[in-house]
Amino acid sequence: MKLLRIACFVAVSLAILRNASGQGFVNLNFEQTVIVSSSPSGYGFNSGTANVTGWTEYNGWSDSNYSGGMSIIYNNQPLDSPGVSLVGTNYSSPAIQGKYSILLFGGDTYNTPTNGASIGQTGQIPLTAESLTYWGLSYNNLQITFDGQALSFNAISSNANYTVYGADISAYAGQTGELLFTAPFIEIGGPSYGGGVIDNIQFSPSPIPEPSELSLFGICLLFLCWRMKRPAAGLCTSQTFRVVGTPRCGVPVRQDGTNVVKAPFFRSPDAALGDGDSAGRAVPTLIVCERHNPKI
């Protein structure tokens, strides 16, 4: 009886750990990879083939799948056909984290499959998962689904080498399905590139900022920058005012309360810059606002 209780405790513990850590999804950073063949490309890096554990490829040029993973081209990519490639740190589109990343290209020729190129993996999302993030250099239209349902990703941070994208995954916590990354086929007249480099896929118990929060933060930041750089100025409008005087600087101004505001005025084509022409016989000059109190 004691052994039975211990066995049940171990089984339950393993189940809890499985749900908490998201087991079933493996190699989310693509580092569990074996380079099968590699030879100098003549461009400063080696190219060949690689076996990537845990993932399945769809429609990749010269790619295939094996039990437990996919066999794909390494440090290489097709020019027009859909492709799934493993890239290293010295490739022209280099890995953005660790030793390896995945490059997806959707293809742009009609004599090849027109449903793009994808990689997918079936697993269980952790029960505690609130968000899904990945690092990427996405050029255009990278599509991501779970169990056939589209996930809405937003950029949540970026640096010179990659952008971190995040999506709310809480509705699927505890569910099992295929996580699929797809580079769509490029239609004629559509985006110039379908796909990008991806890496460091993670489930997190922390929610991502909502787009509205990000937008509000951006608006506040822009307003703060504008307020800090805004000159101390009086009222400035696009209305043409009657020139009431010319201070020593030679620019026509009008009096507005306690402020003197440089205003738009008209001048004739042959008039010197700064000569006012209240008859309005030509083109308006640039509006400039300035807070000062010279005598007019």
Q: What is the pLDDT of residue 208?
A: 87
Domain ranges across the chain: 2-211, 231-296
Q: Which helix (H) or strand (E) element contains residue 225?
A: helix 211-229
Q: Nearest-CA neighbor of 102 among 50, 64, 141, 59?
A: 50
Structure tokens at 188: 């004629």
Q: What is the pLDDT of residue 258?
A: 42
Determine the Cα–Cα distance for residues 64 and 166; give it in Å rounded to an integer: 29
Determine the Cα–Cα distance for residues 289 and 234; give it in Å rounded to an integer: 6
- The CATH code that applies to domain 2-211 is 2.60.120.200
Q: What is the pLDDT of residue 40?
A: 96
Q: What is the pLDDT of residue 160?
A: 87
Mean pLDDT across the chain, nearest whole number? 74
Q: What is the pLDDT of residue 114?
A: 73
Q: What is the pLDDT of residue 107?
A: 87
Query: Model confidence over 191-248: pLDDT tens digits?
Result: 556 789 999 999 999 998 765 454 445 545 555 654 555 444 443 333 333 334 444 3
Q: What is the pLDDT of residue 108?
A: 81
Q: Consecutive 10-residue runs of the chain (296 residues): their mean pLDDT?
A: 45 43 80 97 96 97 95 94 95 95 88 82 97 85 93 92 95 97 80 81 90 50 52 40 40 43 38 41 38 40
Q: Nearest-CA neighbor of 201 among 148, 146, 136, 155?
A: 136
